[in-house]
Amino acid sequence: MFLKRGFIYFIGIFLIGSGVASIIKADLGAGAWDALYVGLSHRIGLTTGTWVWLIGLIIIMLNAWIGMERPDFSAFLTVFILGNVIDFALYLLLDPIQLTGWFPKVLLFAIGFILIPVGSGIYLQARFATNPFDKLMLALNQRLNISIGLARFISEFSALILAWLFKGPVSLGTVFIALFIGPAIQLNYRYFNRLLNDQEEWGIQSDNT
């Protein structure tokens, strides 16, 4: 079953990374964290994917400090793989593509927006190497005794401010992602939970969230 979970995990991460790269390439506005990575890449150097795992490592340490516990370095696996997939898709697969006019940009943005929640819905079924940004939301929820929604808002808004300061691609697409990516991920999570999980075989209780 470990191989099955590993396959699901890698397929999901690959789809997420490809979706992120597609949205960045479309240049209509990226998600808050993704816009931060691009801004850091443009202003400081290094690839966008490298910033994914560098910021991820910082968040892992921050989570440990907030939760007063040991750093969960297993979470680094997710951001490391994700960063490399983003670089592969952004600088190799998508780099030769020239987007002229609004239609191809909107189309590529839409493809990316579809890939991210589908990939998230698949990857979350593996139940290991959690994204450290998801853990940040939970850490804030527990440490500050606030709702998950407010914790997510604090996390995303902080990333948005930093992305703006580093002149990342913050635009209308950023607003669209902020409004609709959460429900889209939840919808796909429920679908793939029913499709992929044999709960008795994996010893996992069904998650109805």
What DSSP string describes 65-121? HHHTS---TTHHHHHHHHHHHHHHIIIIISTT----SHHHHHHHHHHHHHHHHHHHH
Q: Could you report the per-residue pLDDT of 70-123, keeping only the tens digit for each? A: 888 888 888 999 999 999 999 999 999 898 889 999 999 999 999 999 998 888
- For 192, phi and psi rounded to 5 degrees? -75, -25
Q: What is residue 108's predicted lDDT score, i.e. its pLDDT?
A: 96
- Inter-residue contact 160 to 174 (CB < 8 Å): yes
Q: pLDDT tier at 148 (50, 70, 90 boundaries)?
A: low
Whether 5 shows a pLDDT value over 90: the answer reads no
Q: Who wins on pLDDT, 202 or 146?
A: 146
* pLDDT for res 199: 46
Domain encompassing residue 44: 2-202
Number of structural domains (the chain) is: 1
The answer to whether residue 197 sits within a structural domain is yes
Domain presence at residue 89: yes
The predicted-structure confidence for 152-197, as pLDDT tens digits, reads as follows 788 888 899 999 999 999 999 999 998 888 888 888 888 888 877 6
pTM for this entry: 0.85
Is 209 inside a domain boundary? Answer: no
Tell me whether residue 207 is in a domain. Answer: no
- Domain membership of residue 208 (yes or no) is no
Q: What are the pLDDT digits (tens) for 39-65? A: 999 999 999 999 999 999 999 999 889
Residue 57 lies in a domain: yes
Residue 178: Cβ-neighbour burial (10 angstroms; 0-12, 13-18, 19+): middle
| Contact assessment for residue 12 and residue 123, using Cβ atoms and an 8 Å cutoff | yes
